[in-house]
Amino acid sequence: MILLVTPPLTQLNTPYPATSQLKPFLDREGFHTEQVDLGIELIDRIFRKEFLKKAFPAGHPASGRYADIVDAVMCFLRGEDPSLATRIANSTLLPESKRISGDDDMDWWFGNAGTEDKARYMATLFLEDLAEYVRNTLDPQFELVRYAEHICTYAETFDKIALVLEGACTPVEDVMLELLEKHIKELAPTIVGFTVPFPGCLIPALRCGQYIKKHHKEITVCLGGGFPNTEWRRMREPRLFDYVDYVTLDDGELPMLRLAQMNCGRIDEESLLRTFCRKDGKVVYISKETDGMPTQVKNDDLPSPDFSGLPLDKYISTADMGNPMQRLWSCGRWNKMMMAHGCYWAKCAFCDTTLDYIGRYDAPSAQMVVDRMEHIMLQTRCSGFHFVDEAMPPKLLREVCQEIIRRGLVVSFWGNIRFEKVYSREMCELMSSAGCIAVSGGLEVASDRLLELIGKGVSVQQTIDATRNFRDAGIMVHTYLMYGFPTETLAETIDALENVRYMFDENMVQSAFWHRYAMTVHSPSGCNPNRYGALCPGRVGDNLFCNNEIPFEYDFGYDLDAVGDILRIATYNYMNGRGLDQPAYKWFSRLKKNKSKHKK
């Protein structure tokens, strides 16, 4: 029996989709498979009156008023008791705190209407207060949707992670391990597999592996997911295998299948696929791709995702911002699924295009996509979908929309796109009619010269035209933006912000976020940094543990950190309807030039 685990902490509002994709495939191959989300189970246990009263000393706010009302607040966030909205929104239920009383934008967002949205926002601030108490008193690594992220992000060595794991378990980790033990006793797995999509769930996964290897030596522990796929392709750290037996790369269906076959004696270890293990104290990589054995599963051959066994009633809808577009990531139990594997473009200089999950494009038919949607709706009784593609392919997207309309389905969906010419008025209206409520896409550097340099394949004007058409069709837009790409001038950055200001002012985008450019070893810019004007001193990708982000140097001639702060502050104001009547350059009036080289 195989147990697939999503460790703490990923999302609170909906299951992460990895285990729901692996389970039906392994079941089809004859292996009994179950799945659990330890993250939402952990949140459900620690944000309870019973836990808070025991964990915090008498007189502490968390064991007083917070504990008295936490069960009611969680019921509201789970959608079980919407009648609490008015009491929360009118400030008669929640204890006053710096988060709740100090939010000057609350009235702007909600006014006298939007009672339930305001209540959800205030209840989320209440949980953030509690999370801070937990972090300060019980577990210094705890946050609501991540755990010890700062320790695991760009971890060149395993030292800091090992230091945490060698220490005693915190009260939060104790609860996590109690939940894990309960599942092991009930299900008696022979393999436990952990998905680690983000650095914020690595240490919990390894803590669970540590527990299993100590108390259940008969169980094989394996780990895979987005984090090892990007960070560990050159990994040579043997200490990792004190906590897990195997690490798999890329799509997990066939690596997990071969592990299951090995576990029951059908194949030997040398027949594993895309798998790390430790032999004679050294890390070895095994990937047998001969004898006619397949190495990938075609998208058309994959079964529909299976959400059975997951505690769908425990997920909570939070709202850490009033912005209606940004709330989609944390509010609502969206069915997460991929329309197609990989990116149909896969040419952007900043993107990890050499990795399988981006570089190998594989799309099913529109009929199969909608069949999967209908299957999932029957399972979850939820008609909302978040397509987690790198970018939904326009041709397939059009056909999916037509198929949804042909079948008369009532659904809501959103996902990533590229701002291409194909998003005409007619295309956007078709998407809206089929149920599309929002899209997110990268305008990136918002400069035509830089967009051409990075191989984005779109222009600023194309983006403006597309977002105007989305606006007119009633579809919300979020745009990802980037600063600090080599050769970017301060004038280009100011012009980029001016483009963003214009799009907000015209209501063509509803939210935006600026990312600082990071050069990665798997991207075109990382593979050939000189082409983009960057200097990378030293050897690249030679760390024992994580190898993804590459330190680089470029003489920008201005303070990049200060520019990043300006961009974020200005955009936050734009999202709140402020500063739209003044040119973007005014935000930079106090910027002091810095002639030193930028080192990342």
Output the DSSP codes for 386-420: EE--SS--HHHHHHHHHHHHHHT---EEEEE----
Beta-ladder partners of 4: 35, 193
Q: What's the pLDDT at 321? A: 81
User: For residue 286, what pLDDT band results from cuts at 50, 70 and 90?
Assistant: very high
Q: Is the pLDDT of residue 597 over 60?
A: no
| Residue whose pair of structure tokens reads 């590229």 in the numeric block | 418
Each residue's pLDDT tens digit, 328-341: 999 999 999 999 99
Contact call for residues 354 and 522 (beta carbons, < 8 A) = yes
Q: Is the pLDDT of residue 269 over 80?
A: yes
CB burial of residue 164 (10 Å; 0-12, 13-18, 19+):
middle
Q: Is the pLDDT of residue 47 over 80?
A: yes
Each residue's pLDDT tens digit, 352-392: 999 999 999 999 999 999 999 999 999 999 999 999 999 99
Q: Is the pLDDT of residue 109 over 80?
A: no
The mean per-residue pLDDT over the stretch 536-564 comes to: 87
Q: What's the pLDDT at 541? A: 72
Each residue's pLDDT tens digit, 495-512: 999 999 999 999 999 999
The residues, any chain, with a CB within 8 Å of residue 76's CB and separated by 6 or more, are 82, 84, 85, 88, 119, 120, 123
Contact call for residues 520 and 547 (beta carbons, < 8 A) = no
Q: Is the pLDDT of residue 538 over 70?
A: no
User: For residue 561, what pLDDT band results from cuts at 50, 70 and 90?
Assistant: very high
Q: Is the pLDDT of residue 542 over 90?
A: no
The mean per-residue pLDDT over the stretch 137-149 comes to: 95
Locate 268 and state its tokens: 């030997």
Contact call for residues 351 and 366 (beta carbons, < 8 A) = no
Domains of the chain: 2-39+147-297 (3.40.50.280), 57-137 (no CATH), 321-599 (3.80.30.20)
At CA 508, angle to CA 503 and CA 514, rounded to 5? 55
Task: Indicate the DSSP class of residue 238.
Answer: G
Q: What's the pLDDT at 594? A: 47
Helix (H) or strand (E) holding 132: helix 115-137
Each residue's pLDDT tens digit, 308-326: 999 999 999 999 887 889 8
Residues 505, 116: Cα–Cα separation, whole Å: 27
User: For residue 595, what pLDDT band results from cuts at 50, 70 and 90?
Assistant: very low
